[in-house]
Structure 1
Amino acid sequence: MVGDSVYFLALGWAAAQIGGPAQVGVVMAVGAIPRALLMLGGGVVADRFGPRKVVIGSDTVRSVLILAVAAVLWLSAPGLWVLVALALLFGVVDALFMPAVGALPARITARGELMRLLGFKAFVDRFGRLAGPPLAGFALGAGGPEAAFAAAGVLFALSLVLLITVRIPGVRPDSARSDGARSARAGSGDARSDEAPSPSGRGGSVLRELRDGLRYVRRHPVVGPLVVSGCISQVGISPPLTVGIVVLGEERGWSPAGVGFVLGAMAFGAGVSTLGLAVAGRFPRAGLWATVTLLVASAAIGAIGLMPTVAAAAAVALTAGLVSGLCGGLSSTLIQANTESGYLGRVSSVMAFTAVGVTPLFFPVGGWAAGNWGAASVFVVGGAVSMAASLLPLFAREVWHAELPHKR
């Protein structure tokens, strides 16, 4: 995650130096397009060949790509095409890496420890996003984009060494999964061990396996409602927290530091709650509480836009972060715990696709709405959409009664 943050800042900085400010968005878009278009296919690849192989292979390519570009920038003054090629290839590889790494947790730990692992993962993800920009700034100031790319490449190489040490345990049959997982199996293939790739990987087309995975999500009584609810919720809350917060700061006369303080308060709250889940390792009535916390977090995010001062907005954002951290941790653990191992990559890819492919499409809508009706409207409407999404699992009895696996 630190390497990711350094890479993206270095890419934008280098694009601005080589091609000018107008080219920054072009280079970023070139990387985002293949990531969005290929993300669902990346889930198929993870299930077909096994996520560990895909994670190690894609992380190796990422490291080599970035270090190669660092060397090119160090030795010459290339044109913008080098950055375009890097962004394009990195986006393709990321479309493989993200679903695969998302499919690993349920395969590498006992089911009773799944919430601990996902809680710690969420915590270090947030830490990585916070630690990356200062490191990138230091590298850019000390040696320019080539130094920043070199730092990112070294970080990816270090992560590769750690990923190689990860081992998938022995066969753990999917019969340990919930009854809901078995009911979703109809028409979607049989369960297999956590070591084996998906059975559909033997001769099935990518498109057929993709349809198989989407059918699995749609039919699963626990995974389906939680995945769809999470996707709709992201569509609602992402525009306010990206576009809306900037416009809100301008309308209220807040400084950039004030806007950063509000977002930082939310990130801090989410970090605290995810760490709490990791330490606790157990949360009764997880399905019910995942729904309730999403409803409360959505309302709190909507209320940020109504706050007149930075302090008030930060206090509400802190509350939203604390509750949303609980919601995210419980939902992701329930999804992983109830997904058969042969479908973990495809389910993970659906969730990642929402973040990188669907949600950004609504950013211009949020900007247009903020310009016409004010930033508060973006927060209120976005919060309402997310609240509506939280009601979806209420129609699924299995979600109400879903429990997290516990240690035996």
Structure 2
Amino acid sequence: MIGDNVFYIALSWAAVRSGTPSQAGLVMAVSAVPRALLMLGGGVVADRFGPRRVVIGSDAVRCAAVLTVAALLFVAHPGLWLLALLAVVFGIVDAVFMPAVGALPARVTGRDQLARVQGMRGLAVRFANVVGAPLGGLGVALGGSATAFALAGLLIAVSVPLLISVRMRETPQAGGANTADTADTADTANTADTADTAPAPVEAVGPPGDADGAPARGDASGPHARVPDAEDGAPAVPERPATAWRDLRDGLRYIRGHRVLAPLIVTIALGDLGFVGPLNVGLALLADRRGWGASGMGLVVAAFGAGAGAAALLLAWRGTLPRAGSAGAAALLGGSVAIGALAQVPGVGAAVGVALAIGLLAGLSGALCGALLQTQSDPAYLGRVTAVAGIVSLGLAPLSMPLTAAAIGWWGTGPVFAGSAVVCGLGGVVALAVRDLRRAELPR
């Protein structure tokens, strides 16, 4: 994560130095397009080949790409095309890397520790944001973009052997479905959540899923999936080969038929769509119009980060919170109110207080939603579940930032922040309205 932060500092600086501001903005945004388009396929890859293998391979590709660009920049000035190509490569690799990272915790630790891992990951994100940006700036100051890219590549390189050292747990069996092999835990099992969604085992070979679209326990959705044996001495029906397209359809059916995951993903999507625009480009425009200056904006951003870090620390320390579904919904509603209020405060001091509340409430909601996503998902589907949940926040939400800027230009900060708060609050309403999500608990 620190390497990623250094990378984006280096990329933005190199793009600004090599082209116009609009061209630089295009280079920074171009990675979101392949990420949004390919994220679902990345989830299938993570579940078919195993998150550990995918994370290691994609991290190595990221490292090689960044170091190659650093070497080219040391000896030549190739221009914007190289930076745009690097951004596209990062977007493609991220589309595979991020679902695999989301699926990894369930293969490393028990369900009762997944919420704590989610909190620790939130702390790592905040730490990387605090440390990565100054490191990237230092690299640029010492040797320009090439040095900053080299620093980013070396940091990512350090993470590769650390990932290789990670050892996997045996994938738990669910409903008698096939599980991955445990030597390297080839993570290709496809098991339905029998407590929530799995119907009775299918009796005949046919398309996966039942009349309601929920994946069946005997669904042939992975490389090791099997079809039921024929009865009464009839010859066995040949197994249909599992394909990536079938795995994708099975994953979407699994999510659609799950009484907690389906509304939870809607909640996450609404929260992210209402949050990303105002707290990124919207905050910069708000600080400019209020006359807070760069230092004032920095204080507001720091307050938000402190609140989010405190929420992550709470979850990492406690490991669980009672009534997690209701608590996450309430925190999301409170955070949406604070987002709307941020555009109404006149001074920097009040804005810092509101931003602290946003970070605490939104951070708590995000951590709880992420923990519920981990604990409610069958590990065999977790790559696809993470991909569907992340396609909005990591793929589509960044594309909303130019729309937010344009809307503020037309209507001002107040109405746009209020509209974003409504969208964000709808996520909390959905979570409270759906009984199974409202009553969802984290394992103790």
TM-score by length of 1: 0.92
- Report the alpha carbon displacement of residue 181 of structure 1 after superposing the two structures with TM: 4.9
- What is aligned with 2:105? 105
Q: Distance in 2 between matches of 1:6 and 1:405?
A: 36
1:121: how far off?
A: 0.5
**What SS is found at the alignment partner of 1:78?**
coil
2:263 maps to: 225
- For residue 169 of structure 1, what is the aligned residue in structure 2? 169
Which amino acid in the other structure matches residue 180 of structure 1? D
Q: Is 2:287 the partner of 1:249?
A: yes
Matches of 1:298 and 1:329 in 2, distance apart? 16
Residue in structure 2 matched with residue 188 of structure 1 by the alignment? 215
Distance 1:191 1:339 in 2: 18
Q: Provide the residue aligned with 2:205 in structure 1.
A: none
Partner of residue 90, structure 2 = 90
User: How do residues 150-161 of structure 1 correspond to structure 2 at under 5 angstroms?
Assistant: 150-161=150-161
Q: How is 1:27-46 mapped onto 2 (pairs within 5 angstroms)?
A: 27-46=27-46
Is 1:302 equivalent to 2:340 in the alignment? yes
- Contact 2:107–2:171 (CA under 8 A) maintained in structure 1: no
CA deviation string 1:208-228 (max 9, x = no partner)? 322322222222111111111
In 2, Cα distance between equivalents of 1:163 and 1:233:
31
Cα deviation for residue 386 of structure 1 reads: 1.2
Q: Which moved more, 1:355-364 or 1:3-12?
A: 355-364
Q: 1:332 aligns with which of 359, 364, 370?
A: 370
Deviation by residue 1:137-194 (Cα, 9 ceiling, x = unmatched): 00111111111111111111111111111111123234696722546985425499xx
Say which is worse superposed, 76-85 or 385-394, in terms of deviation.
Answer: 76-85
Could you report, residue by residue, the CA deviation over 1:67-123 in whole angstroms, capped at 9, with x for unpaired residues? Answer: 111111112332333223222222211111011111111221111111111100111
Gaps of 5+ in 1: none
Give me the whole-angstrom Cα distance separating, in 2, the residues matched to 1:181 and 1:157.
41
- Is the CA contact 1:48–1:198 (under 8 Å) kept in the aligned structure 2? no
* Aligned CA distance change for structure 1 residues 95 and 191 (closer, same or farther; 3 Å): farther
Query: Is the alpha carbon distance of 1:17 and 1:404 closer, same or farther for their aligned partners in structure 2, counting shifts above 3 Å?
Result: same
Distance 2:335 2:199 in 1: 31
Residue 252 of structure 2, aligned match among 214, 224, 230: 214
Question: In the alignment, does 2:396 pair up with 1:369?
Answer: no
**Partner residue in 2 for 1:61:** 61
Query: Which residue is 2:383 aligned to?
Result: 345
Q: How far did 1:247 drift?
A: 2.0
Looking at structure 2, the residues matched to 83 and 362 of structure 1 have their Cα atoms a distance apart, in angstroms, of 22
Alignment partners' CA distance in 2, 1:328 and 1:183: 31
The answer as to whether partners of 1:243 and 1:366 remain within 8 angstroms in 2 is yes
The one-letter code sitting in structure 1 at the alignment partner of 2:280 is T
Match of 2:325 in 1: 287
TM-score when normalising by structure 2: 0.85
Q: Which amino acid aligns with 2:195?
A: D
Match of 2:2 in 1: 2
Residue pair 1:189, 1:199 contacting (<8 A) in 2 also? no
Q: Does 1:14 align with 2:14?
A: yes
Q: How many aligned positions are there? A: 402
Partner of 1:179: 195
Gaps of 5+ in 2: 176-191, 201-208, 227-239
- In structure 2, C-alpha distance between the alignment counterparts of 1:229 and 1:344, rounded to whole Å: 18
Seen in structure 2, the aligned counterparts of structure 1 residues 372 and 21 have a Cα distance that, compared at 3 Å, is closer
How far apart are residue 301 of structure 1 and its match?
1.5
Question: 2:23 is aligned with what amino acid?
Answer: Q
Aligned to 1:133: 133
Identity among equivalent positions (%) equals 46
How far apart, CA to CA, are the structure 2 residues paired with 1:79 and 1:254?
A: 35
The answer to which of 385-394 and 77-86 deviates more is 77-86
Matched, 1:262 2:300: yes
Larger displacement relative to structure 2 (49-58 or 254-263): 254-263
Structure 1 counterpart SS, 2:196: helix
Counterpart CA distance in 1 for 2:265 and 2:199 is: 17
Task: Measure the CA separation in 2 of the matches of 1:357 and 1:332.
Answer: 17
CA contact (8 A) 1:302 1:380 kept: yes
Letter in 2 for 1:322: L
Alpha carbons of structure 1 residues 79 and 384: separation in structure 2 relative to 1, 3 Å? closer
Task: Give the structure 2 partner of residue 276 of structure 1.
Answer: 314
- Change over 3 Å in CA distance of 1:293–1:315 after alignment to 2: same
Query: Are positions 1:385 and 2:423 aligned together?
Result: yes
Is 165-174 or 175-184 further displaced after alignment?
175-184
1:238 counterpart = 2:254: no
Structure 2 Cα separation of the partners of residues 288 and 159 of structure 1: 36
1:22 & 1:198 partners in 2: Cα distance? 49
CA distance in 2, matches of 1:264, 1:178: 44
Q: How far apart, CA to CA, are the structure 2 residues paired with 1:298 and 1:178?
A: 35
Of 106-115 and 21-30, deviating more is 21-30
